Chain A
């Protein structure tokens, strides 16, 4: 998938005698995984241009770092208190959940609260975006989220593996979550006939998908990871899940007494809504048409500038208004987030026009589209990759 059908990419330097003419380091042969012949490299940046682009992106980052201050701190505190108020409100309304309007409103509020908690707050706090405030209550080293994946495991697989090796097939475990076939580079086998079904199930149980993909089961099979480590992780997930499930499916329903079932149903629905929504947003961040995937060889000796280019080409944005961006945890600015993963999320919308302008100037595609359009593309790719390469 993610064939760059019409996107300009750096020169496909598979032709070895091209090196002099296009001195792009082999490490940045952005070979799109599609083998379509119309993917003619339309842009070729020289190493100097790539490093210049890197310096200009650094300058944007430095400027935001210099401005970061009280208003940013006020933003995250306001988001956190709004989220908590929403959660209290949603759970309170659900106690009156025998009345359909109360059930609907309560479930909606709780769903929104859970989405905010995972995305705009949890994801971004655990990225260290707010560590600069030195508030131990809003800090990557202390934050724990409402998810079955523990923050420690998730920080390793996400902050380190995914953000360092973004869209590198075989390294970035977000490519397919160890369940799906999302790249033509992944060898096909009959198991993948179920690709669309797996994706649907992953969407419903996304928090479990995230937690289980931290286990890296395939590494155990390959003998690269001891089983004891997996057992430790399984226990950690079990403990975490037990707490979250006790709260949502036992304590709150029980507190509602005779209204046990409406509360249980509301909580279950809120978790499902959260799962489906986060799955959609996250898959649209890296796998719609336009986002490029890379191979491990391309990482060798990668420079800062090359890293930036890989982050830009491997990510895709979503269009929408401020409320939509809030609900995606600003991952609708996936490109900006991947360039500057530790900048406060409220700043992504501000730097986005500049990043977009840089992309235009350097002839790099800035992939963006509506959630509906992008998600359809993702689904289409998932369906296509259920079959071996080359079959339609």
Chain B
């Protein structure tokens, strides 16, 4: 005996419609009208762009109906096509929690394929792929005094939190210590200042790390922030829930600084995908199993030699019967020597070798 789960009317309709579209789905035809009508892939449409600094823009996206909303401080994975190839990146949401559309704020990284596209050349109306918001870098459930330590584009999730608090009108005691290279490179500088003027609970301390002068126009010291300075800047920092977002050096320093009270510290880390440092051979994880792959050996051969159940086919790069998804790292095309790979990319294991560390999902 087996039981059939009762279908909701919507599902039943979808199942009926699929009989008309098989082997495709109804959405594959409806997508001709609006690609946002998809039940298998959440998508969104770029509705506006706002330049924040010379190298940062805020992009506002209207998500499809399946969007579940987000909590302030969370991030969203965005899939964007650059030169016909899809790339996925995670960006913090900088909009308030109850905003109608979602907004990400992106700072162009030199050589950053996706960030450069987003900042320089993403026309209004572009359809992007989305995932649901994720991340536990969120405001505490009960109001508490807060300390935000941010650097560079690390301000974006914190901006989402501040806008959310500002929108409710109940801004608790918040201190923001934000570092940016210079005043012109400081994202949301004007809005932060305006909000601090409007809300008594909010204090904003800005540091311009590339400036020579010892005091900036807000009367704050410049230069790189040393967390030991918090004793002076925010004497009661130990009593605050701390949110730190920025480059990994800052996060490492914060972990050490809060080593006595790690439960009070919340960090958001954005690591760039692991890139190959070049060279041939390397350590590759096939699911749970780590294998040292010799230079010149294909990932397929190395996996098989190590007893991994590898799918395979022509063994010469034609049939795509051997592809496995890449989780992390990059691989070398043994035919051309090209090093390539992005998380999620399907790799032809029979003609790819290792180039540093990488991780493959096994079936």
Q: Which residues of A contact B (CB under 8 A)?
A: 58, 62, 68-74, 81, 84-85, 88, 127-128, 131-137, 139-141, 144-146, 155-156, 159-160, 163-164, 240, 243-244, 246-247, 251-252, 255, 307, 341-342
Given the complex of chains A and B, what is the CA–CA distance between A315 and B194 in angstroms? 72
Q: Out of B22, B83, B84, B318, name the residue touching A159 (CB < 8 Å).
A: B318
Interface residues of B in 1-52 (CB under 8 A from A): 19-24, 28-29, 32, 41
- State whether the Cβ of B278 lies closer than 8 Å to any Cβ in chain A: no
Q: Which residues of B contact A (CB under 8 A)?
A: 19-24, 28-29, 32, 41, 81, 83-87, 313-314, 316-321, 323, 335-336, 342, 344-346
On whether A137 and B28 interact (CB within 8 A), knowing A163-B318, A164-B319, the answer reads yes
Given the complex of chains A and B, what is the CA–CA distance between A135 and B28 in angstroms? 13
Among B28, B87, B317, B346: residue with most chain A CB under 10 A: B346
On whether the beta carbons of B84 and A131 are closer than 8 Å, the reply is: no
Chain A residues within 8 Å of B317, by CB: 342
On whether the beta carbons of B81 and A133 are closer than 8 Å, the reply is: yes
On whether the beta carbons of A159 and B314 are closer than 8 Å, the reply is: yes
Chain A residues within 8 Å of B81, by CB: 70, 73, 133, 135
On whether the beta carbons of B344 and A134 are closer than 8 Å, the reply is: yes
Given the complex of chains A and B, what is the CA–CA distance between A251 and B22 in angstroms? 11
Q: Out of A68, A146, A244, A247, name the residue touching B84 (CB < 8 Å).
A: A68
Chain B residues within 8 Å of A244, by CB: 22-23
Q: Give the Cβ gap from B127 to chain A, nearest Cβ, in Å.
A: 11
On whether the beta carbons of A136 and B41 are closer than 8 Å, the reply is: yes
| Chain A at the B interface: SS class | helix
Chain A residues within 8 Å of B29, by CB: 84, 88
Q: Give the Cβ gap from A40 to chain B, nearest Cβ, in Å.
A: 32
On whether A133 and B318 interact (CB within 8 A), knowing A146-B23, A247-B19, A247-B20, the answer reads no
On whether the beta carbons of A134 and B85 are closer than 8 Å, the reply is: yes
On whether the beta carbons of B320 and A159 are closer than 8 Å, the reply is: yes
On whether the beta carbons of A134 and B314 are closer than 8 Å, the reply is: no
On whether the beta carbons of B86 and A135 are closer than 8 Å, the reply is: yes
Given the complex of chains A and B, what is the CA–CA distance between A155 and B311 in angstroms? 13
Given the complex of chains A and B, what is the CA–CA distance between A307 and B317 in angstroms? 13
On whether the beta carbons of A141 and B346 are closer than 8 Å, the reply is: yes
On whether the beta carbons of B345 and A243 are closer than 8 Å, the reply is: no
Chain B residues within 8 Å of A160, by CB: 313-314, 318-319, 321
On whether the beta carbons of B345 and A341 are closer than 8 Å, the reply is: no
Chain A residues within 8 Å of B41, by CB: 136-137
Q: Out of B19, B313, B316, name the residue touching A246 (CB < 8 Å).
A: B19
Given the complex of chains A and B, what is the CA–CA distance between A163 and B318 in angstroms? 8
On whether A128 and B320 interact (CB within 8 A), knowing A85-B32, A134-B345, A163-B314, the answer reads yes
On whether the beta carbons of A342 and B84 are closer than 8 Å, the reply is: no
Q: Out of A133, A137, A164, A247, name the residue touching B316 (CB < 8 Å).
A: A164
Chain B residues within 8 Å of A81, by CB: 32
